[in-house]
Chains A and B, each alone.
Chain A
Amino acid sequence: MLSLFLLLPLLGIIALNLPYKGKKDTVALLYVLLLSVGQAIVVLFHPANFWHMPDFWGRFFHLALYADNLTLVLILSIGIVMSAAVLVAWQTISESKSRLNFINLALVALIGMNGTVLLTDIFSLYVFLEVTAISSFILIAFQRDLNALEGAFKYIVLSALATIMMLSAIAALLLFSGDTSFASVSQAVKNNCCNPIIIFAITLFVCGLFIKGGLVPFHGWLPAAYSAAPAAVSVLLAGIVTKVAGIYVLIRLVRDVFGPVGAINDILMIVGIISIIIGALAALKQDDFKKILAYSSISQVGYIILGLGCGSPLGIAGAIFHLFNHSIFKSLLFVNSAAVEKQTGSTDINKMGGLGAKMPFSNASCLIATFSTAGIPPAAGFWSKLMIIIALWQNGYHAYAAVAILVSVITLAYLLAIQRKVFFGILPDELKNIKEAGIWIVLPAATLAIIIIGVGVFFPFLFNSFLVPVSNFFK
């Protein structure tokens, strides 16, 4: 069954590029929506073991696919963010051919991400990471303006560095394991845990993932790429691509494959806390809507890594929950920025003001996302931050917990600065005739806002039925 997550998008790409005429873009939109919404819904109603039954198509591909609760959380997030991004693209890109191209690339990214979360083999994992990365490069440079090309190029350069690191690491690990499956690599690490080559390999791999995930000081490419990319691509990139490519793989490898070897937890926590602080401080003085969100992304990823690094089941559950929440609220914020950019033609928050009255849906949903990011109840982000902070406290990392709470204040400060400068205040004369963004932006914004509030309000239910199994898995 799991292979369908890869095969259906692939089938779509082939079908869409057959030489025939007709309303290909509408069909493509419907298809990709069907796939992404479908994958989100299907995952919600079937537990992990449902997916392990063999299927007909799987016989032709000898890929070792496996799904646990962590995977399902990621597949759910991928489905939600992908559908939002595609709808935003539909609204912001008007040309039929460009729409089709976008959807093609989105399908490639879908295959890449689904593959990354499903595979249990570090080399195949690497291959699907690259599939995702390459589609992202092209997507960033989609509109071929100078900024976008520069952003894409920065991403390529640093991604290449990451690729070199990861590939070397895989080669080094292969020396010991003789096989690239998770199980044998894990065994090899366990048997040779003091071998310097293994340490070197793990270090390289983790650093490569830090680059992919955009953590400080490996984050150089991230603000440029996020802010230069077209609106829909920013949603996809910030919402899910870097989270799958960097953070998910980090969680999976550190927990399941390498194990808590040596100083790895300390390193995760230090990198996490530095990312939290630097990201938040850097966001404070930006005046570009998307740049603020980009730095905010760095800061929020820091929270996830911090929860992972503290090592307790609660911390990991909190990290995974925050990963999910982050994909929802950050893509919502980027959807709002897309709405503002589309309607005003700018992302400079100093040139705006008073849009709240004209764009009520964007205003309200942006506020909800702000609350979730800063961790204010009843938004979903409150619970995940709370779990992470409680886990830190329980494990004796009091200073980290204190910093995590304090930075929440800065988070609120820079996000409220957006809210104040864009949606509140006085409407400038040149924006008098502005309207709410189109339905395909409002619809995903409203849906994501409802998810944030719903998850926040029904958290106790979710905690028992959804997060406890996830953390138990790691015990």
Chain B
Amino acid sequence: MNANILLMLVIIPLVAAILILAIRRLSEIIALLATGSMLIIAIALFRQNLTYSLSLPWAGFGIEFIFRLYHFSAFILLAITAFAFLIVLYSCSFMHGKNYVNQFYSYLLISAAMANGAVLADNFVLLLFFWEGLLVTLFGLIAIGGKEAFRTATKMFIIVGVSDLCLMIGIGLVWYLTGTLTISKITVPLNTLGCTAFILLMIGAISKGGSMPFHSWIPDAAVDAPLPFMAFLPASLEKLLGIYLLARITLDMFKLTTGSWLSILLMTIGAITILLAVMMALIQKDYKKLLSYHAISQVGYMILGIGTCLPIGIIGGLFHMINNALYKSCLFLTAGSVEKQTGTTDLNKLGGLWSKMPVTAVCFLITAASISGVPPFNGFFSKEMIYDAAMERHPIFYIAALLGSFLTAASFLKLGHAAFFGKRNQENENTKEASLPMLIPMVIIAAICVLFGLYHRSAVGTFLTPILTEQFVEHDASVLLVTLTAIVLILAVIHHIIGTEIHGGGVKAADHIHHAPVLGGIYDKAEKRLFDPYEIGLKIVNVISKILSFMDKAVDWIYNSMTVNSAYAASDTIKNLNTGNYSLYIIWSLAGGVIVLIMMLKGFGS
């Protein structure tokens, strides 16, 4: 195959996006065709398993248009195109009849194009080009949701924009340090500047992944933005891109080792993200919002896994990345089904949907089991690998991850209980199962979750092991850790049962944690967004802008009042001096002459 085929992965969705904007009525068909053909190309490329390189002349000064396809990027491409296809299929039903539907498909396809380009780019400036392009469509996808959504979109734009600025500065530093922008040729020494560059690039990568403290737009977007957007971007595509870049910089460019303090920094970020986000998830009373906090929490596992710098941790992190993309997008899709069929995602109003929506419920059960780490689903295996690596580095990271697992399981028990079991709400008596185009993607993804779980060895062997340069032999998870996991899961179930008994109802199963003595206060503040870095930033910016505005007024006064008035005063004075008096004019001239003479004589004297 010609290397030009790589360009098609960017060109096809872009052309389709423009066509969709032009021909509104055919938007579903065009989007399906475009994503379908992308998927076929991606499968073909992955099966060939070759390294392609495409170089075109571009801006010069080391800024070249280079695409490079190798095993890792082919794998990510496959995942992106598959998700794009499935989400478009799902949207055919979900988005039907909405008035912004052609904009939605168009932005979605451009996002896919940008993501493909970013994955393929082998030049940092080119990567940045696609990366920022994604930011624009992200903004558009959130903003089409309405007025509230526009505010969320702005929030997202500022948060991601700031972290992208860090990425940009990091790229500049890397250029300064190595003199090249070609990603595959870069090796950066880990001195002071190198560490700074790493941290800046890492901020760009993990904020794309949605890690703390760059997460706060995701729960807002879950409420405001169209649901397929959540399933496509924050749940799958952005995780893929962010973790892809994180893996590239940690593994290829900076060659982090276990001894480095940067590794500990990464693991700490991962552990904190897991815990804080899952704590927030536990108390949510909304299907989508609960899921969105899990979308943040799960990134923590990946960062923790990659941050261990051990082969098993890295493989675990990457495996968790693809697993998470699968079950998280499927969970969002079930949320979409529930929303479409019942008209709400408020857990207090849902319940007993099990018999009304059996397929959705089964898909939910499978994926919820996966995310909670129940064997034999895929999430269990990737989490075990990460536990293994974390345990090897330090037990505290392991404990944090395990605690996260406990809370994840608890929150999904609560969610499942509240939505699909328990007492049925009167309004939901006539609810029906979702339509076929919505069920197919959910079933496919749930089936992959099961397959990845049952055949996890061959999945890891096919997709992930070739990424590592060093030899990696998978070994069985240690019995102790598996036992501990099982105990934790059982504890979660017991906790749920007791919670239900005490508070009466699945939704309130975790209320004792919500209203615990110290935690209650913290939770209240967190719900009021007192801990949201964006809100804190806004307050600081407000103060600064008030000071600046005052200074601006002062400067304005200098320009608009003081300068003008003094100029007018001077003008008046001069006008009054020119009285038309002859003798005065003659005296001026003679006095001027005398002064000139004195200056001339002085000039000669020296």
Contact string against B for A residues 285-317, beta-carbon threshold 8 Å, 1 for contact and 0 otherwise: 110000000000000000000000000000000
Closest to A195 in B: B604
Tell which of A150, A154, A261, A284 has the most Cβ of chain B within 10 Å: A284
Contact with B along A195-222 (1 / 0, CB 8 A): 0100110111011001100000110110
In the complex, which residues of chain B have a beta carbon less than 8 angstroms from the beta carbon of A281? Answer: 567, 570-571, 574
CB contacts (< 8 Å) of B543 on chain A: these are none
Q: Is B591 a contact of A284 with CB atoms below 8 Å?
A: no
* Contact stretch, chosen from B45-53, B209-217, B309-317, B580-588: B580-588
**Count of chain A residues with a beta carbon within 8 Å of a chain B beta carbon:** 40
Stretch of A36-44, A94-102, A118-126, A157-165 at the chain-chain interface: A157-165
Whether the pair B592, A267 counts as a contact (CB closer than 8 A) is: no
A223 with B604: CB separation less than 8 A: no
Which residues from B are CB-within-8-Å of A19?
Answer: none
A410 interface hit (Cβ, 8 Å): yes
Contacting A at CB under 8 A, from B562-581, are 567-568, 570-572, 574-575, 578, 580
- Whether a CB of chain A sits under 8 angstroms from the CB of B528 is no
Quick check: is A22 within 8 A (CB to CB) of the other chain? no
Select B574's contact among A154, A204, A282, beta carbons within 8 Å. Answer: A282
- In the complex, which residues 219-267 of chain A have their Cβ closer than 8 Å to any Cβ of chain B? 220-221, 223-224, 261-264, 266-267
Q: Cα distance A286–B574 when bound, in Å?
A: 11
Say how far A227's CB is from chain B's closest CB, in angstroms: 11
Question: Which residue of chain B has its CB nearest to the CB of A265?
Answer: B603
* A281 vs B337: C-alpha distance when bound (angstroms): 75
Decide if A218 touches B586 in the complex (CB within 8 Å).
no
Question: Cβ of B589: which chain A residues have Cβ within 8 Å of it?
Answer: 158, 161, 207, 211, 217-218, 220
State whether A203 and B580 are in contact (beta carbons under 8 Å apart), knowing that A220-B585, A284-B567 are contacts in the complex: no
Q: What are the residues of chain B within 8 A of A266 when measuring CB–CB?
A: 599, 603
Q: List 20 A-B contacts (CB under 8 A).
A: A150-B580, A154-B582, A157-B586, A158-B585, A161-B586, A161-B589, A161-B590, A196-B601, A203-B597, A207-B596, A224-B580, A261-B603, A261-B604, A262-B600, A263-B599, A263-B604, A266-B603, A270-B599, A281-B570, A283-B571
How far is it, in angstroms, between the C-alpha of A194 and the C-alpha of B575 when the chains are bound? 40
B358: Cβ under 8 A from any A Cβ:
no
Additional A-B contact list (11), CB under 8 Å, known A165-B593, A221-B585, A266-B599: A196-B601, A203-B596, A204-B593, A207-B596, A210-B596, A218-B589, A281-B567, A281-B571, A284-B568, A285-B572, A286-B575
Nearest A-chain residue to B566, judged by Cβ: A281
Task: Let me know if B147 is at the binding interface, CB within 8 A.
Answer: no
Contact between A207 and B582, CB atoms less than 8 A apart: no
- State whether the Cβ of B602 lies closer than 8 Å to any Cβ in chain A: yes
Measured in the bound complex, the distance between the Cα atoms of B580 and A318 in whole Å is: 34
A207 touching B593, Cβ below 8 Å = yes
A452 within 8 A of B: no
Q: B-contacting residues of A (Cβ < 8 Å)?
A: 150, 154, 157-158, 161, 165, 193-194, 196, 199-200, 202-204, 206-207, 210-211, 217-218, 220-221, 223-224, 261-264, 266-267, 270-271, 278, 281-286, 410
Contact B571 A282 (CB under 8 A): yes
A199 to B603, CA, bound (A): 10
B residues sitting closer than 8 Å to A (CB atoms) are 567-568, 570-572, 574-575, 578, 580, 582, 584-586, 588-593, 596-597, 599-604
B571-A285 in contact (CB<8A): yes
B585 proximity list for chain A (CB < 8 A) = 154, 157-158, 220-221
CA distance A372 to B21 in the complex (A): 48
Contacts of A263 in B (CB 8 A): 599-600, 602-604
Query: Which residue of chain A has its CB nearest to the CB of B582?
Result: A157
A-B complex: 9 closest residue pairs judged by Cβ atoms: A263-B603, A220-B585, A262-B603, A285-B571, A207-B593, A284-B571, A282-B574, A217-B588, A217-B592
| B600 A218 Cβ-Cβ under 8 A | no
B596 neighbours in A (Cβ, 8 Å): 203, 206-207, 210, 267, 271
Q: How far is the CB of A223 from chain B (nearest CB, A)?
A: 6
Q: Closest residue to A162 on the B side, CB-wise? A: B589
Instruction: Report the bound CA distance from A199 to B604 in whole Å.
Output: 8
A187 to chain B, nearest CB (A): 18
In the docked arrangement, what's the CA distance between A284 and B582, Å? Answer: 23
Q: Which residues does chain A contribute within 8 Å of B571, judged by CB atoms?
A: 281-285
User: Taking the nearest CB of chain B, how far is it from the CB of A299, in angstroms?
Assistant: 12
Q: How far is the CB of B605 from chain A (nearest CB, A)?
A: 9
CB nearest neighbor in B for A270: B599
How far apart are the CA atoms of A70 and B603 in the complex, in Å?
28
Chain A: minimal CB distance from B601 (Å):
6
Measured in the bound complex, the distance between the Cα atoms of B588 and A161 in whole Å is: 12
Interface residue from A157, A204, A210, A278 paired with B592 (Cβ < 8 Å):
A210
CB distance from B477 to the nearest CB of A (A): 74
| A157→B588 CA distance, assembly (Å) | 13
With A284-B567, A410-B567 already in contact, the answer to whether A158 and B586 are too (CB < 8 A) is: yes
Residues on B with beta carbons closer than 8 Å to the beta carbon of A283: 571
Q: How far is the CA of A224 from the CA of B585 in the complex (A)?
A: 12
Contact at B600–A202, with CB atoms within 8 Å?
A: yes
Listed residue (B568, B596, B599, B602) with the most chain A CB atoms within 10 angstroms of its CB: B596
Chain B residues, CB < 8 A from A150: 580
A295 to chain B minimum Cβ distance, whole angstroms, is 9
**A207-B578 in contact (CB<8A):** no
User: For A211, what are the chain B residues with a Cβ–Cβ distance below 8 Å?
Assistant: 589
Closest CB in chain A relative to B566 CB, distance in Å: 10
Tell me which of A150, A158, A206, A217 has the highest count of chain B C-beta atoms within 10 A of its own C-beta: A217
When the two chains form their complex, are residues B584 and A220 in contact, meaning their CB atoms are under 8 A apart?
yes
Contacts of A271 in B (CB 8 A): 596
Bound form: Cα–Cα A158–B580 in Å: 13
Q: How far is the CB of A1 from chain B (nearest CB, A)?
A: 39
A267 touches B574 (CB 8 A): no
> Assuming A262-B604, A281-B570, is B578 touching A220 (CB within 8 A)?
yes
Question: Which residues of A sit under 8 angstroms from B591, Cβ to Cβ?
Answer: 217
* B601, A223: Cβ atoms closer than 8 Å: no
Shortest distance between the CB of B581 and any CB in chain A (Å):
9
* Residues of chain A contacted by B584 (CB below 8 angstroms): 220
Nearest B residue to A210 via CB reads B592
B572: chain A residues within 8 A (beta carbon): 285
Residues in B whose Cβ lies below 8 Å from that of A158: 585-586, 589
- Chain A residue, CB-CB nearest to B570: A281
Other-chain contact of A285, B575, B586, B592, B602 (Cβ < 8 Å) = B575
Give A208's nearest chain B residue, CB to CB.
B593
| Complex contacts, A207 vs chain B, CB 8 Å | 589, 592-593, 596
A379 to B582, CA, bound (A): 38
Task: Look across to chain B and name the residue whose beta carbon is closest to the beta carbon of A198.
Answer: B604
CA distance A271 to B590 in the complex (A): 14
* A282 contacts B603, C-beta separation under 8 Å: no
CB-CB under 8 A from A264, the residues of chain B are 600, 603
Cα of A157 to Cα of B575 in the assembled complex, Å: 21
Known: A196-B601, A207-B596. A282 touches B588 (CB 8 A): no
Query: In the complex the two chains form, what is the Cα distance from A270 to B592 in whole Å?
Result: 11
Which B residues touch A202, using CB under 8 A? 600
In the bound assembly, the distance between CA atoms of A262 and B600 in angstroms comes to 7
- Docked pose: A206 CA to B597 CA in angstroms: 10
Residues of A within 8 A of B593 (CB): 165, 203-204, 207
- Chain B nearest CB: distance from A212 CB in Å? 11
Distance between Cα atoms of A199 and B584 in the complex (Å)? 26
Taken together as a complex, chains A and B put the C-alpha atoms of A221 and B591 apart, in Å, by: 16
A302, chain B: closest CB distance, angstroms: 14
**A161: chain B residues within 8 A (beta carbon):** 586, 589-590
A263 to B601, CA, bound (A): 8
The listed residue (B580, B586, B592, B604) touching A194 by CB distance below 8 A is B604
Closest B residue, CB atoms, query A196: B601
| Contact across chains for A218 and B574 when beta carbons are under 8 A apart | no
